[in-house]
């Protein structure tokens, strides 16, 4: 897993998004969310790779992507 991908997963955890996910589903969440980011947010990946920082705009994009992804993912929620 690249450092950028680690940022996406850690972000979901520290911002409370994983609190909503069944513990048994965290591994599945990780796999599906990384696929989602790779497919739908390539500019975000490139920006994070280029700058090495999470700008306020990228922070908002990650938050928005998680808010849309989690309910549509089919992952079991608490």
Token pair of 20, please? 């909503």
* pTM, full prediction: 0.90
Classified as helix, coil or strand, 77 is strand
CATH of domain 3-72: 1.20.150.20
Residue 11 has pLDDT above 90, yes or no: yes
Provide the residue ranges of all domains of the chain, joining segments of one domain with +: 3-72
Residue 34 has pLDDT above 90, yes or no: yes
Those residues whose C-beta lies under 8 Å from the C-beta of residue 30, and which sit 6 or more positions away, are: 9
Confidence of residue 62 (pLDDT cuts 50, 70, 90): very high
């Amino acid at each position: 897993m690249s450092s950028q991908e680690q940022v996406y997963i850690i972000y979901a955890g520290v911002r409370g998004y994983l609190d909503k996910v069944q513990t048994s589903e965290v591994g599945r969440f990780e796999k599906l969310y990384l696929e989602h980011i790779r497919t739908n947010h390539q500019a975000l990946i490139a920006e994070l790779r280029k700058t090495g920082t999470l700008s306020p705009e990228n922070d908002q994009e990650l938050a928005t992507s998680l808010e849309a992804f989690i309910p549509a993912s089919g992952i079991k929620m608490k």
